[in-house]
Amino acid sequence: MLVMVRLVVALLIASVVLPAQTVIRLGTLVPKGSRWHEILLTMGEEWKKASGGKIELKIYPGGEQGDEPEMVQKVRIHGLQAVAISGAGLSGIDAAVSALQIPMMLDSWEELDYVRDKISARLEKGMAQRGFIVLNWGDAGSVHFFTKKPVSHPDEVRALRLCVLQGDSVTFELYKQNGFHPVALAATDILTGLQTGLIEAFQSPPLIALSNQWFGGAKNMLDISFAHLVGATLIDKGVWDKIPAPVQKEMLASARTAGVALRAEIRTAEAGAVPIMQQFGLNVVHPDAKTVAEWRQLTESIWPKFRGPVVPPDLFDEVKRLRDEYRKTHPAAKAAGKP
Helices H, strands E: what count in the chain? 14, 11
Architecture of domain 144-227+274-336: 3-Layer(aba) Sandwich (3.40)
DSSP string, 201-254: EEEE-HHHHHHTTGGGG--EEES----EEEEEEEEEHHHHHTS-HHHHHHHHHH
Identify which has the larger pLDDT, 1 or 121. 121
> Given a cut of 80, is residue 112 above it in pLDDT?
yes
Long-range contacts of 116-123 (CB under 8 A, 24+ apart): 116/230, 118/318, 118/322, 119/315, 119/318, 119/319, 119/322, 122/96, 122/315, 123/94, 123/96, 123/97, 123/99
pLDDT digits (tens, 9 = 90+) for 226-240: 999 999 999 999 999
Residue 307 CA to residue 35 CA, distance in Å, equals 36
Alpha-carbon span 65 to 26, nearest angstrom? 9
- For residue 8, pLDDT over 80 is answered with no
Q: Which range among 3-12, 100-109, 219-228 shows the weakest confidence by mean pLDDT?
A: 3-12
- Which residue type, as a one-letter code, is found at position 105? M
Position 271 scores a pLDDT of 85
Mean pLDDT in residue range 160-187: 91
d(CA 336, CA 330): 10
The band of 11, judged by pLDDT with boundaries at 50, 70 and 90, is very low
Nearest Cα residue to 13 out of 49, 58, 43? 49
Distance CA 145, CA 215 (A): 10
Query: Which pLDDT belongs to residue 265?
Result: 85
3-class DSSP string for 315-338: HHHHHHHHHHHHHHHCHHHHHHCC
Tens of pLDDT along 39-67?
Answer: 999 999 999 999 999 999 999 999 999 98
CATH of domain 19-140+229-273: 3.40.190.170
Model confidence at 207: pLDDT above 50 = yes
Is residue 278's pLDDT more than 90? yes
Over the stretch 285-316, which tens digit does the pLDDT of each residue have?
Answer: 999 999 999 999 999 999 999 899 899 999 99
- Work out the pLDDT band at 14, boundaries 50, 70, 90: very low
Answer whether residue 76 shows pLDDT above 90: yes
Helix H, strand E, coil C: the string for 70-105 is HHHHHHHCCCCCEEEEEHHHHHHHCHHHHHHHCCCC
331 vs 339: CA distance, rounded Å: 15
Q: Residue 263's pLDDT band (boundaries 50, 70, 90)?
A: confident
Give the angle 101-60-277 at the CA atoms, nearest 5°.
Answer: 55
Mean pLDDT within 107-118:
96
Predicted pLDDT at 19: 53
| Confidence category of residue 333, pLDDT binned at 50, 70, 90 | low
The CA-atom distances, in angstroms, between 135 and each of 43, 151, 231, 252 are: 11, 39, 11, 6
Given this model, what pLDDT does residue 171 score? Answer: 86
- Provide the pLDDT for residue 20: 63
pLDDT score for 7: 42
Residue 188: pLDDT over 90: no
Domain range list for the chain: 19-140+229-273, 144-227+274-336
Model confidence at 13, pLDDT cuts 50, 70, 90, reads: very low
**By the 8 A CB rule, do 178 and 172 touch?**
no
Average pLDDT, the chain: 90
What are the two backbone dihedrals, phi and then psi, of residue 138, each rounded to the nearest 5 degrees? -135, -170
How confident is residue 18, by pLDDT bands cut at 50, 70 and 90? low
Q: Is the pLDDT of residue 3 over 70?
A: no
Q: Which residues contact 171 (CB under 8 A, 6 or more apart)?
A: 164, 165, 182
Provide the pLDDT for residue 30: 87
pTM of the model: 0.86
pLDDT of residue 279: 97
Whether 186 contacts 202, CB under 8 Å? no
For residue 132, the model assigns a pLDDT of 98
pLDDT (average), residues 27-37: 88
